[in-house]
Chain A
Amino acid sequence: MGLEFLLGVGVVTALNTVLALLLVLAERFLADYGPCTLALNGEKKITVAGGRDLLATLKDQGVFIPSACGGRGSCGLCKVTVLNGGAPLATELPWLKPDEIARHIRLACQVRVKHDLSLQLPPQWLEIRQYRTTVSSLRDLTHDIKEVRLRLVDPPEIEFKAGQFIQFEVPPYERSDETVYRAYSIASPPSAKNEIELEIRYVPNGICTTYVHRHLRLGDPVTINGPYGDFTLRPGEREIIAIAGGSGMAPLKSILLDMAEKEIARRIRYFFGARALRDLFLLEEMKTLEQRIPGFEFIPALSKPDPMDAWNGETGLVTDVAARYLPDASEAEAYLCGSSFLIQAAIKMLTSKGMPRERIYFDDFG
């Protein structure tokens, strides 16, 4: 009896040992793809351990590719050109147009790194990082715009250009069961590297804005990634016309602070549209900036000031007010930020004043 018992245990142990050994050997010889070299845009070369998907592999190397689903192949955002990666998998096809397939575009989360790969991605992606931050201040600017300051924890500093935006990671909460990302412009100047400021306007039922307005508390951790975008001040001497409304204040505030710090003394007129005095914010900051930048003038326009406001500034739609100030805009350049309707109306107004379309810059939120 004892012997039979020992035999049984011995055989099961031996069998499982053999099988485990087989798996270890397989792991060693089949699953080990060795070091692979990833060539980024033909210049930067990084050596990584093969075997995992490209999205995760690059993320470990600090190359952050926009992705909203976390690598499950369900958002279709992590598109990169893989010159020698083979044909796309069936899981990628719904996200790729025929011309993208022809250009060797793949979803990074579906490409397994098994050999050296030659990749092409937008150069600014190489600058994008993920940052862990904590909420260091929350302030109501108006009844529906919140100022959120995020102190950077890891990495502790961010490099960006005034006017760029970041993506804000919203963790799953009662209104959404997935991590989602929303883009917000940075309102603070690039010189403040360890803390960024955002101005977030409440969007009815919006997943991120509801989270920020109703759930976010001081000290909460927030993950962001960025910077993105090319809504930045173009060098030169041209006069600047800025037109914004609502949360469109943020990138322009960053640009203005940057100009003040760098003592760029260009003529700049900033038209800001709101309904009544209670919708205007940062008036003191703008007044200070007018003193710091010699050519700067802040011109708020109220479309319907309250009788209580005792408003003696400009009234009317911001584009109409700006039109009254600008008999000829052909030599100036313009920076627009706000609702897509504001941008459309402003483009129409500016081009009618002779401004060439290519000198009108705005964040394309469409």
Chain B
Amino acid sequence: MIAAFSSWFALFFSAVFTQNILLTNYLGMCPFLGASRELKTSFGLGAAVVLVMTFTTPLNWLLYHSILLPLGLEYLALIAFISLIAAFTQLTELVIMRVSDSLHAALGIFLPLITVNCAILGASLFMVARRYSFLQTTAYGLGGGLGWMLALLAMAGIRQRIAKNRLPRGLEGAGIALIIAGIMAMAFTAFTGMATPA
């Protein structure tokens, strides 16, 4: 039990830091560059990614292990995962709209955007490739989402600060953001050794 928990936690930790899906796999780059100018928008987008990734990764695990694998249809994983993610975001938006206007104003606008976020699909594909158990997948989904959000918030914070600095023209915007992302990726690898997945 303790072993299971520690493996669960190690996986969660590595998904947030050492194996950060954004900084080690460079997935979910477009919103990372496009929506990281302001902390406020970044927070909304990040929270939406956490929500969607936490739920779709385990749901896709169930889909894969209970339908695709028994029927020998592993090669359909990509298309099935995309369908499920799309339906989930649509459904979530309807629920949020019903439940709270202010939550919808903060999160709702990002949900349709996230349908095509590669980090979310990436997390589902990785959980298959890495043969995670259901519990591990849950930890990985939650950790992956939080890790993506953490990287986005860090980037937004840095970009808010450097917005006031003058840059060589060619580096303005995406140029400097990619350099920062590279340095951040290196910094995040420093977490290796604090915990490694079992």
Contact = CB atoms under 8 A, between A and B. Distances in A.
Given A16-B83, A19-B83, A11 B71 contact: yes
Given A19-B83, A22-B91, A112 B72 contact: no
B72 A23 contact: no
Nearest to A21: B87
Given A90-B102, A112-B97, A23 B71 contact: no
A7 B73 contact: yes
Interface residues of B, number: 25
Contact of A91 (B75, B86, B95, B105): B105
B190 to A, nearest CB: 36
A3 to B, nearest CB: 11
Interface string B72-102: 1101100110011011001100110110011
Interface string B172-195: 000000000000000000000000
Interface residues of A, number: 23
Interface in A20-65: 20, 22-23, 26-27, 30-31
A89 B102 contact: yes
Contacts of A89: 101-102, 105
Interface string A64-95: 00000000000000000000001101110000
Contacts of B90: 23, 26
Nearest to B105: A89
Given A11-B68, A31-B98, A86-B101, A26 B91 contact: yes
A223 B91 CA distance: 38
Interface of A: 4, 7-8, 11-12, 15-16, 19-20, 22-23, 26-27, 30-31, 86-87, 89-91, 110, 112, 114
Interface of B: 63, 67-68, 71-73, 75-76, 79-80, 83-84, 86-87, 90-91, 94-95, 97-98, 101-102, 104-106
